Amino acid sequence: MADNGKLKLGLYWAASCGGCEIAIVELREKILDLDAAADILFWPCAMDFKYKDVEAMPDEHMDVCLFNGAIRTSENEEIAHLLREKSKVLVAFGSCAHEGCIPGLANLFDRKSIFEHAYLEVPTVDNPEGILPQTSFQVPEGEITIPKFYNTVKTLGQVEDVDYYVPGCPPQAPQIWAVIEAILSGNLPPKGSVVGASPNKTVCDECKHDRVEKRIKKFYRPHEIIPDHDACLFDQGIICSGPATRAGCGALCTQVDMPCRGCYGPAPGVVDQGAALLSAVASVVDADTEEEAARIVGEVVDPVGTFYRFGLPASLLHRRKLGG
């Protein structure tokens, strides 16, 4: 705590969309309560802080750091190490830091193929000399350097010791505030716990739709069907990640007849969320032959994006095998 009794707080944005930063602002009037309870020592998204400011801090100077975003570049990793050193408690805040999230789907490719596509192949690129990003380049004024772009996206926990995990893409405001209150009161669970979400329930337990476990002859994408508002989406052939996903969001997506996408991470006791969802899908396929089952499942568009949308880096698969 600071001399004024306030919590010393840091926030950082690595490889992510920025939604977790917006989620902090979504606390609305409670942002004033946060200001009353905490001194923000580092939040480069919102205020002018420099890395040298953090480097100058004594070790464990910040009480808590909310680190959102996956580890995509050498800069992300270096700052993860720095913030771990300067924080008593390091929190993987949001799905990107927790599981890798959407940036983690890049693990289907490598740096070379990503660069070639982005800078050489897409129709809107005008790059006749075929110039690709370099980590360093000499100009008359001196050397320009940029971070190294890694082949593999990693979670925060795969590069540093993490104390707690707050899931969600992004975490919901009530969940964030509950976590802040727990930190302020010192009423925290054992290290390594997922906080701000259910310890023993799935999204299906929070969902208001009625499930009767119908057998499925065809799976639909959400735009291909107008669902019955009262019936389980899974029963209607819409792949919903609810059976494999931790509760805590209030089943917000299913409230508006959209399937759960799985952003709160694996359900309690589940090792691999994608495998658990795939098992749930296989259990409802209505097929008389192996060929029919293969046809039904084969119609699922983008299997990796469906079953591992938010958790590929944290899964048992981790990434596509690199050549060589």
* 27, 169: one domain: yes
* 143, 290: one domain: no
The confidence score (pLDDT) of residue 3 equals 65
Half-sphere exposure of 7 (CA within 13 A, CB side): 23
* 118, 232: one domain: no
* 110, 86: one domain: no
* 159, 293: one domain: no
- Is residue 125 assigned to a domain? yes
The confidence score (pLDDT) of residue 89 equals 94
* Total of domains in the chain: 3
What is the DSSP code string of 131-191? Answer: ----SEEEETTEEEE-PPEEEEEE-GGGTS--SEEE-SSS--HHHHHHHHHHHHHT---ST
* 76, 181: one domain: yes
pLDDT in tens, 118-167: 999 999 999 999 999 999 999 999 999 999 999 999 999 999 999 999 99
Quick one: DSSP state of residue 64? E
Tell me whether strands 38-42 and 7-13 are parallel, antiparallel or unpaired: parallel
- Is residue 315 assigned to a domain? no
- Which of 195, 172, 167, 16 is closest to 95 using CA atoms? 167
pLDDT band at 187 (very low <50, low <70, confident <90, very high): confident
As a whole number, mean pLDDT of residues 211-220 equals 89
pLDDT in tens, 57-109: 999 999 999 999 999 999 999 999 999 999 999 999 999 999 999 999 999 99
The confidence score (pLDDT) of residue 324 equals 57
- Is residue 286 assigned to a domain? yes
* 62, 168: one domain: yes
Instruction: Answer whether 53's CB lies under 8 Å from 28's CB.
Output: no
**Above pLDDT 70, what percent of the chain?**
99
* 21, 168: one domain: yes
The confidence score (pLDDT) of residue 34 equals 87
* 264, 132: one domain: no
More confident residue, 70 or 1: 70
pLDDT band at 1 (very low <50, low <70, confident <90, very high): low
pLDDT in tens, 17-27: 999 999 998 88
pLDDT in tens, 231-273: 999 999 999 999 999 999 999 999 999 999 999 999 999 999 9
Mean residue pLDDT of the chain comes to: 93
- Is residue 317 assigned to a domain? no
pLDDT band at 111 (very low <50, low <70, confident <90, very high): very high
* 241, 280: one domain: yes
* 219, 286: one domain: yes
* 38, 133: one domain: no
**CATH for 162:** 3.40.50.700
What is the domain extent for residue 257? Answer: 203-307
